[in-house]
Structure 1
Amino acid sequence: MEVHCDLEVDVNGEESFMVDKRAIASYCGKLSKLLGKSKASSRNLKVVFHDFPGGAESFELIARFCYNNGSIYITPSNISHLYCAAQFMEMNNSVAGRHNLLQKAENSFEEIRYWSWSELLTALKQCQDLLPLANSLSLVEKCLDTLVARLPLTSEASPCPSTSSPDSSGIRFSCDTRSTESLKTTLSRATWWFEDLLVLGPNLVEMLVKAMVSRKLDHVIISRFLFYYQKSKFYTVKSDTKRTIAEMVIEMLYMLDQSCVSCKSLFGILRVSLNLNLNKSVRNKLENMIGSQLDQATLDNLLVPSPQGINYLYDVNLVLRFLKSFLHDGGTCQADRPPMRLRKVAALVDLYIAEVTPDPRLKPSKFLALAIALPDSARDSYDELYHAIDMYLQVHPGLSEDERMKICCVLNYEKLSAETCVHLSQNTKFPSKSAVQALVYQQSKLKSLLHATNNPKSYTDSPYSAITEAESRGLRKDDANVQLVLYAGKIDLSDDNEKLRAHLQGMQCRVMELEKLCKKMQSQMSKFTKSKTPSYNHTRSLPKLCS
């Protein structure tokens, strides 16, 4: 065919091609329509495309097809470009009907199940440059479905030993062996494809993960891939791309079973995304995921610096949101969740409170919010919280009496040890009411202990019976009278507080001695009870030998 370069085609401003308009128009319906409407002379024809899929590379493939009488070798490395360009140029109704490029490309896609792993990756990488047209033509969906269909085989071996991953191997894992080395080898074979898929952008990875979930792939493996992808990509991309990747990874992790998502890795994403200005809804999802697994966190995880504009040393509001998510996981109140999980979180919170307490800028309202965030059932002992309050009152001496009282009221005095109650009674930083309450509850414990230990008969739970019991155990009558006043709640705290404290301090030694005595009596009663227990040993006793 005689060639005339009588048409200039500008492709996306990248490159201009001088082509034979008749040769091109005979196969491209779109160009044929444009030239049919043109009134320009045959020597001054120019067509400008601003959104040609695949740019100059794709147009060059189209030109070769047209100049070669509708013939071209279609491979996985060029099929995406050819298919999208053919769709764009309307090459589905050529003059010679049998030379339909769009139909040829569609027929070639029917062979996708025979493509190798590396050929699939190549086609997907090209589709990435052709979005959104490639997606609208279902090219991406076909490639991803084929790719994901091969991933369940990863527990045995890579379907493509030539892949770039160093963990690729054709050796099968034997389920009979239990050795650590074999377990490591199996794990590496289950994740050999992680490195290969780093060539994909966030959009394709999102579509890939959705395809994995729909095919019910292991959520643990999916979550590990997402963490690996985020960590690896952050080394090479700019800030804007980091934000896009982080948001995509968080959204995909939120789709998974949360028991399959590593709490430690979630904190890793949280820290690297602190300055990325994540979308609010995405950030809420990340915090909810962390909050639901808060019992797996450590103190170091929680010590997140405050955002700019906040004076606190650590982000206390973030931890409060974690606690809210933990207690209301799934939209319903979980305050009655398994006690072990609650206790672990309470212990963690107490450590956190102790760490943030020395911050002189921490407001009483924030300290109080941390202290009351968990239900009373979460703590078996309030000793740690007491020490944190003691430190807070020391660091913030300017608090009003009302503020100090609100903070001290969070303590459950029944769950304070005897040593802590004694310390509280001497602590001048605490309001007098707190000191009195601590001793009241402690004496109540001792009274119950005495009753259970050495008094088999019941008595009324009244202040007068408490006096009688105390006197029978060796307490002086004035101490018993003080006990009566404490139980009756008739102490006038408006009187001289120092005298009251002095009197209470004078009692503390006798209270501790009484507690020791009770424990000793318990031990003796236990031995006595055992000695009274009839023996069911039917072995006949031997007679004593005479000396």
Structure 2
Amino acid sequence: MMGVCCDLQVDVNGQEIFFVDKRILSSFSGRLSKLFGNLTGTTRNLKVIFHDLPGGAEGFELIARFCYNNGRTEINPSNISLLHCAAYFMEMTKDISGTHNLIEQTEKSLQGMGYWTWSELLVALKQCQDLVPAANSSGITEKCLDSLVARLALPSDASPSTSSPDSSGFRFSCDTRSTESVKHSYFRTNWWFEDLVVFNLDIIENVTKAMVSQKFDHVMISRFLFYFQKSRFVGASSDEKRKITETVVNLLFLLDGSSVSCKNLFGILRVASSLNVSKCCKNKLESMIGSQLDQATLDNLLFPSPHGMDYLYDVNLVLRFLKSFLLGGGCQVSSTRSRKVASLMDLYIAEVAPDSCLKPSKFVALVMALPDPARDSYDGIYRAMDMYLEVHAGLSEEEKMKVCCALNYEKLSIEACKHVAQNPKFPSRTAVQALISQQSKLKSLLQDTNHLKSFDDSPCSYIEKGSKGKKEEEGEQIVLYAKKLDLSMENEKLRANLQGMQWRVMELEKVCRKMQTQMTKIMKSRPSGPSNSRSLPKLCS
């Protein structure tokens, strides 16, 4: 090859064999110097085999030229990573060649990295990616990453000479953007997204972690990760997609929950479901979704059941979402958030209720997953329960009771209470509970309506006492009747009795309206003025 004496054969990674001068290379390489230091006399036909020299044949040729040129070579961003890694491998330190050692020269050049263009920095980092693990162990990958992240932290109007994405005209082969579009996109906050998607997962992971540690905007980071995942999926194999998904999810998990789009998380989950991602990845993804379940829609939750399951939708997945929401303090932190989730769950429960394969235990679990204060009304749950019992008409009385126990009768409207009391699909016991709850609501309504005070001798006092006594008497009769009611009687007989009690409730409503009419007349007829200083009469309560 080069030089007069070629007494050494070097087989580089099985790619190519070089014939070189042993003495010249040994004077710069500590690795070769130690290898031949114990040899005495004239030794010819020596051969060295390297299996993992960084950069392979190209790297060794650069090293050889450096040695034959007496320790001088051009070092620039396009070859510095290769020279640096090869120099570490060949142990080209100052202990061997003094000030002409290659390691020191490359490290000195790296100190000027801050003046490189954006494209030059990308070239150097791309070489580091191809030289793993040597680039990592030599420290040059970390230096390039630190410089790249520092460049991203610059304001968008930074000098193009130091951070413009097209300052040197370098583009990767997969980048098809025109020069004009590059110039316009640079001034957007995501101008760098497309430049980084070509890097491998290790580089992306290190860049993202560095941005997180330096407190970059988490919204921007999450958008980049979703962009990276979408871009790299094009043409990727199933195994590659799985690895990309797991990496993206692990990195998203490092960010603030509010910075990650709920819609995009559901998109990743649907993809992950078909890629056999790790259980740890699934848990993280479900936890992130659960923490912001109040941002979800009904369509988001309608995942088909896993393979081999009879029921229509994946109810267990939604239950895990709810668990994550509660563990994340959803109900404690904000009543508004918990009410949103409760409304969403009412819609979901109504959607899955007609599924004939949905077990009663799962239906009840959905209803009771959220604490009772999250719902102001159980009317939606009642309607879903009504559909469920209609589809599951073959349930035993005991199973129906277990389903109905999830219903809070105190939070049903009067109309819903009336409906439940006459609903043949519900067990007899629930009808009594609904009627008692309805009676209690009417008593409360009467008390709230008649809140003004009156004189003891007012014309309304007789009506007040009489109607109050009647009202209490009616309430006591219903309660006593409910207690004495034989719950084993036939449903038809039960409904007839309940309708009688319903009539009494209607009579109470009429009494209330009459009392209000009488008080209105009294208020209008009473004279006003200084001579009449007595207080207004109270309404009957």
- Do both proteins adopt the same fold according to a TM-score greater than 0.5, normalized to the shorter chain? yes
**Contact preservation (8 Å) 1:467, 1:483:** no
Instruction: Name 2:272's counterpart in structure 1.
Output: 273
Cα distance in structure 1, aligned partners of 2:287 and 2:529? 60
Alignment of 1:79-478 (within 5 A): 79-93=80-94, 96-156=97-157, 159-160=163-164, 162=166, 168-169=182-183, 189-329=188-328, 334-454=330-450, 469=467
Instruction: Sort the Cα spacing of 1:407 and 1:68 in 2 relative to 1 into closer, same or farther, 3 A.
Output: same
Shift of 1:513: 7.5
Cα distance in structure 2, aligned partners of 1:72 and 1:517? 106
Shift of 1:39: 9.9
Cα distance in structure 2, aligned partners of 1:271 and 1:40? 71
Instruction: Name 1:539's counterpart in structure 2.
Output: none
Instruction: Name 1:489's counterpart in structure 2.
Output: 483
Cα distance in structure 2, aligned partners of 1:25 and 1:190? 51
**Contact preservation (8 Å) 2:29, 2:96:** no
Shift of 1:318: 1.3
**Contact preservation (8 Å) 1:263, 1:290:** yes
Residue type at the aligned position of 1:328: L
Deviates more, 1:297-306 or 1:61-70: 61-70
Shift of 1:468: 6.7
Shift of 1:244: 2.2
Cα distance in structure 2, aligned partners of 1:429 and 1:135? 70
Shift of 1:237: 2.4
Superimposed CA distance per residue, residues 27-64 of structure 1 (whole angstroms, 9 cap, x where no aligned partner):
22212333446799955433222222222221222122
Deviates more, 1:513-522 or 1:130-139: 513-522
Superimposed CA distance per residue, residues 464-515 of structure 1 (whole angstroms, 9 cap, x where no aligned partner):
xx99748857x9x9x76752435x6332212333201122245546646855
> Which blocks of at least 5 consecutive residues in structure 1 are unaligned?
171-184, 459-465, 537-547
Residue type at the aligned position of 2:204: V
**Contact preservation (8 Å) 1:91, 1:101:** yes
Tell me, what secondary structure is at the counterpart of 1:189? coil
- TM-score with structure 2 setting the length: 0.84
Instruction: Sort the Cα spacing of 1:86 and 1:344 in 2 relative to 1 into closer, same or farther, 3 A.
Output: same
Cα distance in structure 2, aligned partners of 1:338 and 1:532? 50
Instruction: Sort the Cα spacing of 1:513 and 1:419 in 2 relative to 1 into closer, same or farther, 3 A.
Output: farther
Instruction: Name 2:55's counterpart in structure 1.
Output: 54
Tell me, what secondary structure is at the counterpart of 1:77? coil
> Which blocks of at least 5 consecutive residues in structure 2 are unaligned?
172-176, 455-463, 531-541
Cα distance in structure 2, aligned partners of 1:302 and 1:523? 52
Cα distance in structure 2, aligned partners of 1:530 and 1:156? 76
Deviates more, 1:304-313 or 1:449-458: 449-458
Shift of 1:523: 9.1
Instruction: Sort the Cα spacing of 1:418 and 1:225 in 2 relative to 1 into closer, same or farther, 3 A.
Output: same
Shift of 1:272: 1.3
Shift of 1:352: 1.1
Cα distance in structure 2, aligned partners of 1:237 and 1:379? 46
Tell me, what secondary structure is at the counterpart of 1:16? strand
Cα distance in structure 1, aligned partners of 2:521 and 2:241? 70
Deviates more, 1:280-289 or 1:449-458: 449-458
Residue type at the aligned position of 2:394: G
Residue type at the aligned position of 1:25: S
**Contact preservation (8 Å) 1:471, 1:480:** no
Cα distance in structure 1, aligned partners of 2:514 and 2:324? 47
Cα distance in structure 2, aligned partners of 1:524 and 1:234? 77
Cα distance in structure 1, aligned partners of 2:266 and 2:291? 13
Cα distance in structure 1, aligned partners of 2:210 and 2:234? 26
Instruction: Sort the Cα spacing of 1:376 and 1:146 in 2 relative to 1 into closer, same or farther, 3 A.
Output: same
Instruction: Name 1:178's counterpart in structure 2.
Output: none
How many residues of Structure 1 are paired with residues of Structure 2 in the alignment? 507
**Contact preservation (8 Å) 1:27, 1:94:** no
Cα distance in structure 1, aligned partners of 2:119 and 2:487? 82
Aligned: 1:500 with 2:501: no
Superposed CA RMSD in Å reads: 3.4
Shift of 1:94: 6.9
Instruction: Sort the Cα spacing of 1:10 and 1:484 in 2 relative to 1 into closer, same or farther, 3 A.
Output: same
Instruction: Sort the Cα spacing of 1:519 and 1:124 in 2 relative to 1 into closer, same or farther, 3 A.
Output: farther
Alignment of 1:19-98 (within 5 A): 19-36=20-37, 44-93=45-94, 96-98=97-99
Residue type at the aligned position of 2:55: G
**Contact preservation (8 Å) 1:453, 1:521:** no
**Contact preservation (8 Å) 1:243, 1:278:** yes
Instruction: Name 1:543's counterpart in structure 2.
Output: none
Shift of 1:453: 2.5
Cα distance in structure 1, aligned partners of 2:424 and 2:514? 33
Residue type at the aligned position of 1:160: S
Instruction: Sort the Cα spacing of 1:247 and 1:38 in 2 relative to 1 into closer, same or farther, 3 A.
Output: farther
Superimposed CA distance per residue, residues 14-34 of structure 1 (whole angstroms, 9 cap, x where no aligned partner):
333333333333322212333
Residue type at the aligned position of 2:24: A
Cα distance in structure 2, aligned partners of 1:533 and 1:363? 68
Cα distance in structure 2, aligned partners of 1:119 and 1:145? 14
Tell me, what secondary structure is at the counterpart of 2:252? helix
Identity across matched positions, percent = 61
Superimposed CA distance per residue, residues 89-124 of structure 1 (whole angstroms, 9 cap, x where no aligned partner):
111147542321111111111111111101111111
- TM-score with structure 1 setting the length: 0.83
Residue type at the aligned position of 1:149: A
